[in-house]
Amino acid sequence: MARIGFIGLGNMGGPMATNLVKAGHDVQVFDLSEDALKRLQAAGAQVATSAADAVKNVDVVVSMLPADKHVKSLYLGDSGIAATIAKGTLIIDSSTISAEMARELAAALTAQGLRFIDAPVSGGVGGAKAGTLTFICGGDAADIEEARPILDDMGKNVFRAGEHGAGQVAKICNNMLLAVLMAGTSEALALGRAQGLDPAVLSNIMLQSSGRNWTLEVYNPCPGVMEGVPSSNNYDGGFLVDLMIKDLGLAQSTAANTQSATPMGNLATELFRQHSEHGHGAKDFSSIFKLFEQKGN
Ligand code: NAD
């Protein structure tokens, strides 16, 4: 069992750290939120008084923070913790951040004698709680293999996409495709429904035909077609529209770096932004279905 310092105990990090405790690791945690710390203390983690305190005497550091600026200031800022982490320690950052930031961190931390992998996740809050996340990693193969047993205690799949930053690139490619698939599936279902078709019947036809995709298989966006998904729960729970917009923004800026054409990603970004501006930012991303229904009315 490892000694792990875990920073960032929000919707994702909280259950991930809890699963590490359950697996028998010695977990020292820190978050800016007192409530988050209390939850982890109740789960059996040791609460630290600062991020620097949480990473003392550990084998591995895991961070799960909102965005680039939080991760950069945690490790490299004026009061950054990099200097306090023992040389040779493996740092696993599971936040979804830009690939550029992941590479910058890798370079800076490696220069200080530390080891770093980017390991963003797919699977959402449900996957974090159930311990079924997919980790999409970038970094040295040996470091990812060393991280694997710890990642296995929080998830069910660990992939190496390539060198530092590649995990973040693979993650945003996947989420850009997911946004396009969800918008396209919603558009088709709304069209069929406007033409008088039963969306359950249409979904079944497309599932057995060439339009088949993940959203039809397990995450149908039309209310009433599938049980146990956000569309049948007023679009509550799941993956928030505003988090999808964040990931689409990362995809757009990454594409700009290589002047890659992403017209489908651009359009999906625009559609999800419009939807958020209509007040749906805190709903599940499958609620984009409502945008197409409104457009048809
Ligand atoms: P969250 O806002 O619920 O949690 C972030 C936590 O970080 C908060 O508890 C906050 O207090 C803490 N924090 C911020 N700055 C800190 C600092 N300097 N020191 C210590 N703690 C600090 O966010 P989340 O939903 O857990 O998402 C975390 C990351 O995972 C994001 O990058 C997000 O894009 C990604 N992600 C989220 C989901 C999802 O469904 N929520 C799915 C996949 C990936």
Per-residue pLDDT at 295: 59
Q: Is 216 in the pocket of ligand 1 (CB under 6 A)?
A: no
The fraction of the chain above a pLDDT of 90, given in percent, is: 95
For the segment 259-284, what is each residue's pLDDT rounded down to a tens digit? 999 999 999 999 999 999 999 999 99
Q: How many residues does the chain have?
A: 297
Mean pLDDT to the nearest integer, 182-193: 98
The response to whether residue 79 sits with its C-beta less than 6 Å from ligand 1 reads no
CA of 15 to the centre of ligand 1 (A): 12
Write down the domain spans for the chain: 3-163, 169-296
Question: Which residue owns the Cα nearest ligand 1 atom 12?
Answer: 8
Q: With a 6 A CB cut-off, is 127 part of the ligand 1 pocket?
A: no
Residue bearing the CA closest to ligand 1, atom 36: 96
In testing the pocket of ligand 1, which one of 29, 32, 62 has its CB within 8 Å of the most ligand atoms? 32
User: Does residue 31 line the site of ligand 1, with CB under 6 A?
Assistant: yes
* Cβ–ligand 1 contact at 10 (below 6 Å): yes
Q: Answer yes or no: is the C-beta of 165 below 6 A from any ligand 1 atom.
A: no
Q: How far is the CA of 63 from the centre of ligand 1 (A)?
A: 9
Question: In the CATH hierarchy, which fold is given to the domain comprising 3-163?
Answer: Rossmann fold (3.40.50)
Does the CB atom of residue 50 touch ligand 1 within 6 A? no
> Is 95's C-beta closer than 6 angstroms to any atom of ligand 1?
yes
Closest C-alpha residue for ligand 1 atom 8:
10
In this model, does residue 103 exceed pLDDT 90? Answer: yes
Is the pTM value of this prediction over 0.75? yes
96 CA from centroid of ligand 1 (Å):
9
Quick one: pLDDT at residue 297? 47
| pLDDT at 235 exceeding the cut of 60 | yes
**Close Cβ partners of 69 (under 8 Å, ≥ 6 residues apart):** none
The residues assigned a catalytic role are: 171
φ/ψ of 182, rounded to 5, equals -65, -40
Q: Specify which residues 93 forms β-bridges with.
A: 63, 118
CA of 16 to the centre of ligand 1 (A): 11
The mean pLDDT of 45-70, rounded to a whole number, is: 97
pLDDT at residue 296 tops 70: no
Closest C-alpha residue for ligand 1 atom 15: 70
State the pLDDT at residue 276.
98
Query: With 70 as the cut, is the pLDDT of residue 248 above it?
Result: yes
Distance of CA 294 to the CA centre of its chain: 29
Average pLDDT along the chain: 96
Which of 255, 239, 250 has the alpha carbon at shortest distance from 288? 239
Q: Kindly give the pairing relationship between strand 121-122 and strand 115-118.
A: unpaired
- The CATH superfamily assigned to 169-296 is N-(1-d-carboxylethyl)-l-norvaline Dehydrogenase; domain 2 (1.10.1040.10)
Pair type for strands 26-30 and 3-7: parallel
- Candidates 39, 65, 68, 246: which one to mutate for ligand 1, based on the most atoms within 8 Å of Cβ? 65
